[in-house]
Amino acid sequence: DTEVTQTPKHLVMGMTNKKSLKCEQHMGHRAMYWYKQKAKKPPELMFVYSYEKLSINESVPSRFSPECPNSSLLNLHLHALQPEDSALYLCASSQSRGQGNTGELFFGEGSRLTVL
Amino acid sequence: AQSVTQPDIHITVSEGASLELRCNYSYGATPYLFWYVQSPGQGLQLLLKYFSGDTLVQGIKGFEAEFKRSQSSFNLRKPSVHWSDAAEYFCAVGGLTGGGNKLTFGTGTQLKVEL
């Protein structure tokens, strides 16, 4: 099993809603990532978790709240988003330190978010 | 700071023709280099990677890339393009940190294949 699974695939929400994006992997990876990708742009790193602890936060606004409840799951909680937050949100996983890390990230297919 | 430049925003080739996508990087140490491909509305799929050893690396779908330290380049090649290769291609550079792999992506090259 070499998949990173993201749900939902599509999400439409209002600016006052609270929603969550979910990501799951069963490759035994201990690092998980959230990226944001706007149309025709490269992915931009938002957060990195290593061994379920937040290790990198790329100065993301607090209306995005990540959570890593266990080694296989990664959530992104969304609250009070703005229309400019509409984008494809990609989850990825990789080996972390102590796992023979060879550097590559494995990506899910993304959650397409539209904020009205 | 690490950075990646992909100078070609769009490339159009005929099916069966050869392909080369350019990538130049800036990194303070020996880099980890990657090429990813993204079809519309999809996630990113790893084509190949380099972090040490032979500077010519083979990947999936018949792609290869050559690491040239003197030119800070990691160009992607394919001898004969198929229509299904039409997609967005991203070069990425990164390094291992204590808490994961911090990859920086180039702006991408959109490949169009003419039948």
Give the pLDDT confidence of B21-49 residue by residue, as tens digits: 999 999 877 789 999 999 988 899 999 99
CB nearest to A107's CB, from B44, B100, B102:
B44
Whole-angstrom CA distances from A41 to A23, A36, A100 are 22, 10, 31
pLDDT category, B51, cuts 50, 70, 90? confident
Q: Does B2 touch chain A if contact means CB atoms closer than 8 Å? A: no
- pLDDT recorded at residue A61: 95
Interface contact B99-A97, CB threshold 8 A: yes
| Chain A residues within 8 A of B108 when measuring between CB atoms | 40-42
d(C-alpha B51, C-alpha A68), whole Å? 29
Taking the Cβ of residue B51 and every Cβ of chain A, the question of whether any pair is shorter than 8 Å is answered with yes
B96/A31 CB distance under 8 A: no
pLDDT averaged over chain B? Answer: 93
Closest CA of chain A from B49, distance in Å: 7
All residues of chain A having their beta carbon less than 8 Å from the beta carbon of residue B90 are 42-43
In A, which residues are within 8 Å of B100 by CB distance?
A: 31, 33, 48-50, 55-56, 94, 96
Q: Is the pLDDT of residue B98 over 70?
A: no
Closest residue on chain A to B5 (Cα): A42
pLDDT for the residue numbered A77:
97
CA distance B82 to B105: 25
Flag whether pLDDT at A2 surpasses 70: no
User: Between the CA atoms of B10, A4, A74 and A30, what dihedral angle is there, to the nearest 10 degrees?
Assistant: -100
pLDDT in tens, A27-86: 999 999 999 999 989 999 999 999 999 998 889 999 999 999 999 999 999 999 999 999
